[in-house]
């Protein structure tokens, strides 16, 4: 279970992300989702979109800029919904906590 304070941070971040992209899902994963986070842990957030139109790197940079004024521990990971050959998104969906869904 993700701590309420981390969920609040993720919800604030979600609003900024929605202003720059059209996310399908935002999911907290990693140590916060597993419940073994420390004070030094980052906040891993998967930002899942249908597809990135244009420059993928520019979209990633925009996601990092969006964390300004919220929490610098946020580590966004941009992913395309239908492009998951490694199964990483499937594991995030299984073990993470969805904080936003437009599905």
| pLDDT average, residue stretch 79-88 | 91
Tell me the Cα Rg of the chain: 13
Length of the chain: 103
Indicate if the pLDDT at residue 84 is higher than 80. Answer: yes
Provide the angle, in degrees to the nearest 10, between the axes of the packed helices 56-66 and 4-20: 130
CATH architecture, domain defined by 4-101: 2-Layer Sandwich (3.30)
Indicate if the pLDDT at residue 85 is higher than 90. Answer: no
Parse the chain into domains and list their residue ranges. 4-101
pLDDT of residue 33: 96
* Structure-block tokens of residue 103: 């599905």
Indicate if the pLDDT at residue 36 is higher than 80. Answer: yes
């Amino acid at each position: 279970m993700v701590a309420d304070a981390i969920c609040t941070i993720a919800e604030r971040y979600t609003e900024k992300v929605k202003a720059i992209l059209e996310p399908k899902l935002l999911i907290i994963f990693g140590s916060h989702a597993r419940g073994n986070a420390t004070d030094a842990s980052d906040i891993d957030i998967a930002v899942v979109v249908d597809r990135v139109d244009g420059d993928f790197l520019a979209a990633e940079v925009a996601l990092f800029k969006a964390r300004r004024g919220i929490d610098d521990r946020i580590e966004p990971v941009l992913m395309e919904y239908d492009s998951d050959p490694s199964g990483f998104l499937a594991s995030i969906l299984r073990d993470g906590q969805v904080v936003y869904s437009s599905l």
